[in-house]
């Protein structure tokens, strides 16, 4: 049997359902591939990449100036700027959800159609989130102190971190 679209032999036999009616097609491998492969547009529709989705949603409703100002804001705990987040689609620390709350809200609404968690929660509760955030910040400051050879400051920070960690263990123990 010859391919219905060219002169080569038909090796693919495709049954298409058109409005519930079977429609048989006999194609060679190459024509079958063209026929069966979704166009780029279709493929993009089928598998929306999360990152692409994110970038789209973020651009909604922001003027260029707004976006520029917003992009420069940096989280005091981990140091990530909103621009960095927009580029990589990943946040830097748990505190970002608080620090960028306003910016993230429309994004969350777009992705999840909701902004309030109603699922499972840790049995010990979410107590001490501020303390833990503080530990992340102090560790970063300590690292910076070491980098600038401010060893005295670094050792103070280390003691502070240890005290917090100790207290945290007691609170949760």
- The contact set with other proteins (CB under 8 A) reads 13-17, 22, 24, 36, 38, 42, 45-50, 53-54, 77-80, 88-94, 97-98, 104, 107-108, 111-124, 126, 128-129, 132-133, 135-136, 139-140, 143, 165, 168, 172
Nearest alpha carbon to residue 71 among 95, 98, 103: 103
Residues 6+ apart with CB under 8 A from 73: 81, 82, 99, 100
Q: Please state the closest distance from residue 170 (CB atom) to other proteins, in A.
A: 13
Closer CB to other proteins, 67 or 107, in the complex = 107
Name the minimum Å distance from CB 135 to other proteins. 4
- In the complex, minimum distance from the CB of residue 156 to other proteins, in angstroms, rounded to a whole number: 19
- CB nearer to other proteins: pick between 70 and 136: 136
Contact 3, 31 (CB under 8 A): yes
Nearer to other proteins, 6 or 101 (CB): 101
Q: Spell out where the chain has E strands.
A: 12-18, 21-27
SS3 of 15, please?
Answer: strand
Smaller CB distance to other proteins: residue 67 or 108?
Answer: 108
The answer to whether the CB of 94 falls within 8 A of the CB of 132 is yes
Contact 149, 127 (CB under 8 A): no
DSSP 12: E
Q: Which is nearer to other proteins, 65 or 149 (CB)?
A: 149
Q: How far is the CB of 164 from other proteins (least distance, A)?
A: 9
Minimum CB distance to other proteins, residue 83 (Å):
13
Alpha-carbon span 10 to 26, nearest angstrom: 6
């Amino acid at each position: 049997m010859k391919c219905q679209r060219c002169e080569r032999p038909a090796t693919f036999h495709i049954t298409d359902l058109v409005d519930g009616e079977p429609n048989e097609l006999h194609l060679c491998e190459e024509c079958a591939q063209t026929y069966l492969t979704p166009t780029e547009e279709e493929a993009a529709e089928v598998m929306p990449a999360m990152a692409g989705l994110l970038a789209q949603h973020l651009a909604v409703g922001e003027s260029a100036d707004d976006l520029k100002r917003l992009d420069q804001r940096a989280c005091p705990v981990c140091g990530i700027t909103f621009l960095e987040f927009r580029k990589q689609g990943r946040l830097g620390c748990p505190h970002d959800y608080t620090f960028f709350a306003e910016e993230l809200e429309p994004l969350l609404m777009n992705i999840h159609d909701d902004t309030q968690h109603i699922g499972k929660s840790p049995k010990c509760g979410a107590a001490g989130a501020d303390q833990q955030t503080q530990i992340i910040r102090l560790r970063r400051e300590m690292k910076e102190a070491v980098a600038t050879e401010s060893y005295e400051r670094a050792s103070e920070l280390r003691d502070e971190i240890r005290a917090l960690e100790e207290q945290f263990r007691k609170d949760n123990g």
